[in-house]
Structure 1
Amino acid sequence: MAIGAKGAKSRSGGPSERAEGAERAGGAEVTDAAEHSRGSGLAAGLEADRALLGRTSTAERVADILRDRIAEGFFPPGTRLSEDSVGGALGVSRNTLREAFRLLTHERLLVHELNRGVFVRVLTVDDLNDIYRVRRLVECAAVRGLGEPPYAVEAVEAAVLAGERAAQDRAWQDLSTANIRFHQAIVSLAGSPRADELMRGVLAELRLVFHIMADPRRFHAPYLVRNRQILEVLQGGDAVEAERLLASYLDDSQGQLADAYGRKMSRR
C-alpha cells in the first residue's frame, strides 16, 4: 500500500513540481500568443505589400521586353522613349513604365534627361572598354570552367545557324542579333543564372555599341566564321583551344569598335 501511494505521489508530483508545470504551461501559452501576434503582424505587412509586388513584377517584365528590344537593335542610341507611345503599345500604366525605365537606367541602358525625357544611352569609348573587360572575365571563364566533354552546345549551335541564315538572307540586323545570342549561349554553358542575368545587360549595352559601325555586314560577317570555328572546337571537346579563340575574337572585336569610335570622335 505504501509502495502504491509512493508511486501515485511520484506520478502526480508534489506541490512545487505542479507549480513549475503550471508555470511552464503558462509560459508556453504566453510564447504562443506572442508568436501568433508577431505572425499576424508580419502577415498584415506582407498583405500591404501585395500590390507593390504585383506592380514591381509587371515593371520587371516590361523592362525585360525593352531590354530585349535594345539588344535586337530596335531602339538605336539616342532614341527618345515616349511614355505615351511605349506605355500605350504595351498596355501598361505610366507608373509601371516609369519603374521599368528606372530599372533600365540602373543598368545603364537608358538615361533620364531633366525636362526632356528618357533616352537610349549613347555609349562612350570608356563604356566600350569596360564592356569588353567584363566580357573577358565572364565569357572566357565560362569556357575555361567547362570540365570534361562532351559539352551541351545546342544553344551555341542554334545561334550559329541563325547567323548563317541571316547572312544568306542579307538580314544584317538579324545577323547582329544572332551574334549576341551566340555569346549569351557561350555564357550559359557555365550553368549560372547570375552570370546569365549579368550578360543579358552587358550584351544589350554591346548592341548599342554596334550602332557605331557604318557597315554592319562587313563588321559581323567575319565573326560569323569565327563563331562556327569556336562551336566546332567545343563540339570536339577542346575547351582550352575554344578559350584561346574566344579571347582573340574579343580582342579583335574591341579593336575594331574602338577604331570606329575614334574616327567618329575625330570628325566632331
Structure 2
Amino acid sequence: MPAQETWIGRIEAARGELDRSSTAARVAGLLREQITDGLLAPGERLPEAELCSAARVSRNTLREAFRLLVQERLLEHRFNSGVFVRRLSVDDLADVYRVRRILECAGVREAAAAPPEALERIEAAVAEGERAARDGRWPQVGTADIRFHQAVGALCGSPRVDEAMRNLLAELRLVFHEMGSPREFHEPYLARNRLLADLMARGEVGAAERELLSYLDDAEAQLTAGYRRRDAGSV
C-alpha cells in the first residue's frame, strides 16, 4: 500500500471522532499525529481533495486546519503549488533543542515527586522502543523515542508544557527524516533511554539531568552534522 494511502486511511478511520465545534483543530491534530508517527515526511504535498473526502470536511475547514499547522511550523503554503510538510532548517533544529533542554530538564527535576503512573508511561515508552528494535521496526523505534520524551516533559504536570512538547516533538520527527537510516540514528539512544528511565525510577534526579543534557547535546550534534552533509550534497 502506498504511504499516502496509509496515512490518509488513518484519518478516514478517525473521522467519527470529529466534533462539530472543533473540527478544524481535530483535523489538525490528526495530521500532526501522522507527522509525529513518521508517516508524513518533509517536502510531501498534502492533497486537499483526498483529505476532504477522508475526513468528510469542507475545504474551508481543511484550510483552517492547515493554517493551524502552519502556525506550529509543521506545514508551509507555497504560492500556486499547495500545502507541504515543512523541512526544518539547521537554525530551527538548534531552537528545538534549546527549548527541549528547558522543558525536559524541568521534567526530570520533578521525577522524584512524580506519581507512579507518570514513571510508568516513561517505562512503557522505553519498553516499546526495545521491542520495536528487537523486531527490526526501526521507524517505530523513532516513534517510541518521541513518546519517551513526551513522557519526560509530562513529569512537569503542566498542560502548557505538554502542548509545547507535543509541538516540539512533531518538529523533531521531521528532523529524523534527514538522517537516512532510522536504525543507524536511533539504535545508540535505546540504551540511553533505558539509563534515563532507570535513574528517574531510582530518584537519582541529579544524575538523570546530567545524562539528559549530555544526551541532548550529542543528539543535536549528530543531527546538525546530518543537516550539513545534506546541504553539502545539494550544492
Matched position secondary structure for 2:66: helix
> 2:85 aligns to what?
120
Look up the SS of the partner of 1:190 in the other structure: coil
In the TM superposition, what is the alpha-carbon distance from 1:108 to its structure 2 partner? 0.3
Q: Structure 2 residue aligned with 1:81, among 46, 64, 67?
A: 46
Runs of 4+ in 1 over 6 A off after TM superposition: none
**Deviation of the 1:143 alpha carbon:** 1.1
Alignment equivalent of 2:69, drawn from 87, 104, 109 = 104
Instruction: Summarize the alignment of residues 49-198 of structure 1 with structure 2, pairs less than 5 Å apart.
Output: 57-148=22-113, 152-198=118-164
Cα displacement (A) at 1:145 = 3.6
Q: Secondary structure at the match of 1:153?
A: helix
1:256 corresponding residue in structure 2: 222
Q: Which deviations, in whole Å up to 9, do the C-alpha atoms of 1:100-159 show, x marking residues without a partner?
A: 000000000000011110000011100110100010011011112445477540100010
1:5-44 correspondence runs (5 A): none
SS of 1:59's partner is helix
Say whether 1:217 aligns with 2:162: no
User: 1:215 deviation in Å?
Assistant: 1.2
CA distance in 2, matches of 1:146, 1:229: 14
CA contact (8 A) 1:62 1:97 kept: yes
The answer as to whether partners of 2:111 and 2:200 remain within 8 angstroms in 1 is no
CA contact under 8 A between 2:112 and 2:200: conserved in structure 1? no
User: Measured at CA, do residues 136 and 94 of structure 1 come closer, stay the same or move farther in structure 2, by a change above 3 Å?
Assistant: same
In structure 1, the partner of 2:199 is 233
Partner deviation per Cα, 1:148-189 (whole Å, 9 max, x = no partner): 477540100010011011101101111100000000000011
Q: Which runs of 5+ in 2 are unaligned?
A: 1-18
What residue number does 1:27 align with?
A: none
Separation in 1, partners of 2:52, 2:177: 25
Q: Say yes or no: does 1:265 pair with 2:234.
A: no
Partner of 2:14: none
Q: Which amino acid aligns with 1:159?
A: A
1:246 maps to what in 2?
A: 212
1-structure distance, mates of 2:83, 2:20: 20
**Matched residue, 1:13:** none
Query: What SS class does the counterpart of residue 255 from structure 1 fall into?
Result: helix
Q: In the comparison of the two structures, how many residue pairs are matched?
A: 215
Per the normalisation by structure 2, the TM-score is: 0.88
- Do 1:164 and 1:224's aligned partners in 2 also have CA atoms closer than 8 Å? yes
Q: Does the 8 Å contact 1:131/1:202 carry over to 2? A: yes
Relative to the length of structure 1, the TM-score reads 0.78
Residue pair 1:234, 1:242 contacting (<8 A) in 2 also: yes
Q: Choose 1 or 2 for highest CA Rg.
A: 1
